Structure 1
């Protein structure tokens, strides 16, 4: 009888209560948690109840290393030629059962949202969201690694890159964010590399580290890409004689004293990005001994309507604006969306 009871106590075959375990999370029981199993066996001898026999077993939960890295959305990041600090956004999640640091690296990669990768952004940088103000803030989001990320917690990470001038609409550059789990060293510095104990024997009272990520290397990565959306601008300049001193407005000719109207149109091709801050500067021809033209004060109109931009264009409307500083006529047009055009119109008198 006694030997059988000892066997029951030692092996814990009888139903037991699990005491001292932390609440369960997606990442599992916290690493280092001691799990104790207590057993209580009651019995009688000759019909008399004896003192119950008890036993217990305790083991320590090992550390499971896992993480995920994902782009914050499934859409490409639209950028402009010559844009610096273009941002792609990722989320790194600690699915381990322990707090960890994470090193971060940004590299070139394939396109992930359609299209073909055909150029590289330059000056890649990685920064971690501080949480003080949502969205990338250069003065706040300065950390280049993730420090002490708790189990089941996540951090937003930004990749910044520079787009070369001259890239065309539809050009694509892929980037990859790689995160590597590291020791949480309880300091504001990046912890040491982890050691994988998958191949070692388990110790009941020691915490082994097990790499559970896809490649069993405490590393995960995800890609995103930049797609260039450029404005495809064409500029056309035309003139028409409005009136002359002989014929008036009826079939006028470009004789001295005639009023000539210039139209400078700016057209943006279909499928292009909106052109903004469209500033025009037109230098009138210099006067010569043989004559020239004289600017008609107050004649500048901006945001005129253009029909058939080009040599045969017609320009109408617009509102007063612009400026003349001899010999330069200047003005700024409103934003020009894809497949549309705007014009700056002004008049001169033939000398």
Structure 2
């Protein structure tokens, strides 16, 4: 390859980088719309070698027009937001940053929508705008959703080159499964600004048609040349996924005791209900019910003097409870064993809880 060709390619690359930088710089707010720019030309001359009085032109004056430019950026979900994205969760938050790079204050309204090419649709999509109003200064954390004070649904006015945080709230369907995802699109539409104490939403900004006027015209500078921008954020479900198996082991019978016992009347059988959590987050307050066969009766005192044992793997510990209807939450009533109340285990991701109890064959 010739030196000239190398130089040509290098120059082209430099031109592209320089052009990109120039465009980025051009999209800063710049001179404020409505600014009047005026100047006058002066002409000096002489006649017969004698300087004459300079003459000045009339003033050339024009008004800087309004250029609408904005950006919408998705913020990576926080650990709190990720942890809240579980089946049947209500009002799960995703965060967006809205920036006004127009050369004049404008407002914004918003449209959140489901994107169709994902695993499920979110319900009750709503927009809330971050606000310090009503919060003590020391307790306000910008960019963090506060349901008590972040109640506005539009941005009445945002100064040039300023940003604000907008939240999309959505309900996750109960049918959503672990690792499934839904995508939400947030569209920001530029509107005429209003003062912060005005409840009415400004009208959508309209681009000026035809030739330049003497007033402040409006030009859309955004990518679609329509005064709007949008982007997406994702709700990925992190849920517990439970699987349950039940097994029976003959412990003893009246004739063989514990040596090769058989399932004959009077024999003691231990049931083990294994609940495995193969999901991404803990399953909390896991309750169990088990309708005992009419040909069996609960055996008592098998586990350190108590009737039921609950063991959680991975360091979750082992507890016992009684079959009596008392404060421990375990009971056997009307032929049904129930694990409820304080005895309900929490099962960490990747761990198993095993409920054991024994019955006697009638």
TM-score higher than 0.5 here? yes
- Partner residue of 2:72 out of 69, 72, 86: 69
Comparing 132-141 and 72-81, the one that deviates more: 72-81
Equivalent residues in 2 for 1:1-351 (5 A)? 26-37=28-39, 57-73=60-76, 78=82, 79-110=85-116, 116-131=117-132, 132=135, 133-134=140-141, 135-186=144-195, 187-197=198-208, 199-203=210-214, 206-244=215-253, 247-254=256-263, 259-269=268-278, 272-283=279-290, 285=292, 292-296=297-301, 298-305=306-313, 318-320=318-320, 323-327=329-333, 328-330=337-339, 331-338=343-350, 340-348=351-359
Superposed displacement of residue 184, structure 1:
1.1
**Shift in alpha-carbon separation, 1:318–1:49, aligned structure 2, 3 A:** same
Alpha-carbon distance in 1 for matches of 2:291, 2:306 = 15
Deviations 1:139-179 (A, max 9, x none): 21111111111111111111112222122234332211111
TM-score by length of 1: 0.74
**Shift in alpha-carbon separation, 1:83–1:304, aligned structure 2, 3 A:** closer
- Aligned to 1:279, the other structure's residue is in SS state coil
- Give the superposed CA RMSD: 3.5
TM-score by length of 2: 0.72
Superposed displacement of residue 129, structure 1:
1.1
**Shift in alpha-carbon separation, 1:99–1:84, aligned structure 2, 3 A:** same
Superposed displacement of residue 102, structure 1:
0.7
Deviations 1:292-338 (A, max 9, x none): 333335243323449xxxxxxxxx97233554333334132223313
- Tell whether the 8 Å contact from 2:253 to 2:268 is kept in structure 1 after alignment: yes
Deviations 1:261-288 (A, max 9, x none): 332210123xx23242142333463767
In terms of fraction of residues, the more strand-rich structure is 1
**Structure 2: 5+ residue runs without aligned partners?**
1-25, 322-327
Deviations 1:108-150 (A, max 9, x none): 225xxxxx51321111111111134432222211111111111
Give the total of aligned pairs. Answer: 307
Deviations 1:223-269 (A, max 9, x none): 12222334331112223234456555444445566554332210123
In terms of fraction of residues, the more helix-rich structure is 2
